Amino acid sequence: MLYSTNSMGSVSMTEKKHYIYLDILNIVACIAVVYLHCNGIVHSFSNTIAWKQALIIEVVCYFAVPIFLMITGANLLNYREKYDTKKFLQKRFFKVVIPYIVWSYIYYIIYRDTANPIGFVKEFLNGSIEPIFWFFPMIISLYLVIPIVSIFAKKEYKKEIIYMIIIIFLFQSILDPICKVLNISYPSVFSYMRSGLGYLIFPLLGYIFANNDFKKYSKSLYALTLVCWIIRYFYTYHYSIAGNIINKNLFNYLGFVSVIPAIAIFVFFKNINWNKLLNEKIKFAIQYFSACSFGVYLIHVLLKSKLTNLFSLDRYSITYRLIFPILLYLLCVLIVFVIKKLPIFKKIVP
């Protein structure tokens, strides 16, 4: 998920005109996250029209997390051109680590109805306060690796980065889902390789696709994305019905049915000539919405829960899963705007 950026990918006005597609990708991915979290019924199988509809939303919006990580790689892998590693780590600490700790404590107080610091520390270390915050330890671990990987963020090392992408894709995105589908154990000889790779594939992909022209492969990527969506939907649909329980073999951001669509969506938005389509006022609005993405991520689950309970909203309603996420996103943006104006709170929503 940066020029002058927050952790979710917003950019500064001075360079944004060249990379407006990253701001737009940021917004689209943020909205997709809200859709996924308003679509929770997909994780509880029922042979109903509502569940089948929910599975479509799940499949189509699954690109959200990979896109955020690709944006991060596209903009942070070359941080050495702007500042040193010390400043890089400082910026990440204040913009991500501090908000992660503070908001985890806020959620802990609200969810547990207590401010017990010892209880908080235990649950924080176990990652059991708010499920969606799994994203923070993962992206923080990537921030710790980026200073090493960034050494290769030069044109002369393009082949080496592509080599790393291919290795990760083979061991994680291809071999792992195949083993799950065939119901066989992942080869132990490769397990240590896999554990050391993982989510690094997305920042590497973001850097490569942001700094190279892959336009001639666009149609192939779009076709493969459709194939991936079809495979994931009908495989999950068939085996969930057959087993009368949701089959999550293809519920993995690192699987090929997730990686390929993320690449295609990234390329799609990059290939559009946004500077020709958008005037400066619209670009400014896009920058504003993009800058709110981190804040939206932090508060939308809490607000979703409160609004759903307050108005007794039906989670199985198609209106809830298609219209409510947009309204929730816009309301979150408004709240984030207010928070950013407050002297103290703006520090925890950078």
- Tell me, yes or no, whether 326 lies in a domain: yes
Q: Which pLDDT does position 1 carry in this prediction?
A: 37
User: Per-residue pLDDT averaged across 334-345, rounded?
Assistant: 90
pLDDT tops 80 at residue 195 = no
- Tell me, yes or no, whether 18 lies in a domain: yes
- Tell me, yes or no, whether 1 lies in a domain: no
- Tell me, yes or no, whether 197 lies in a domain: yes
Percent of the chain predicted with pLDDT > 70: 92
pLDDT tops 50 at residue 50 = yes
Q: Which pLDDT does position 350 carry in this prediction?
A: 81
Give the pLDDT confidence of 275-331 residue by residue, as tens digits.
999 999 999 999 999 999 999 999 999 999 999 999 999 999 999 999 999 999 999
Q: Which pLDDT does position 196 carry in this prediction?
A: 58
Residues spanned by the domain of 313: 13-347
Please, are residues 232 and 257 in contact by the beta-carbon 8 Å criterion?
yes
Sign of the CA dihedral running 33, 37, 38, 43:
positive
Cα gap 121→232, rounded to integer Å: 38
* pTM (2 d.p.): 0.92
pLDDT tops 50 at residue 10 = no
pLDDT: is 341 or 35 the higher one? 35
pLDDT tops 90 at residue 78 = yes
- Tell me, yes or no, whether 8 lies in a domain: no
pLDDT tier, 171 (very low <50, low <70, confident <90, very high otherwise) = confident
Give the pLDDT confidence of 174-183 residue by residue, as tens digits.
999 999 999 9
pLDDT tops 90 at residue 6 = no
pLDDT tops 90 at residue 119 = yes
Tally the domains of the chain.
1
pLDDT: is 201 or 13 the higher one? 201
- Tell me, yes or no, whether 49 lies in a domain: yes
Q: Which pLDDT does position 17 carry in this prediction?
A: 44
- Tell me, yes or no, whether 33 lies in a domain: yes
- Tell me, yes or no, whether 268 lies in a domain: yes
pLDDT tier, 123 (very low <50, low <70, confident <90, very high otherwise) = very high
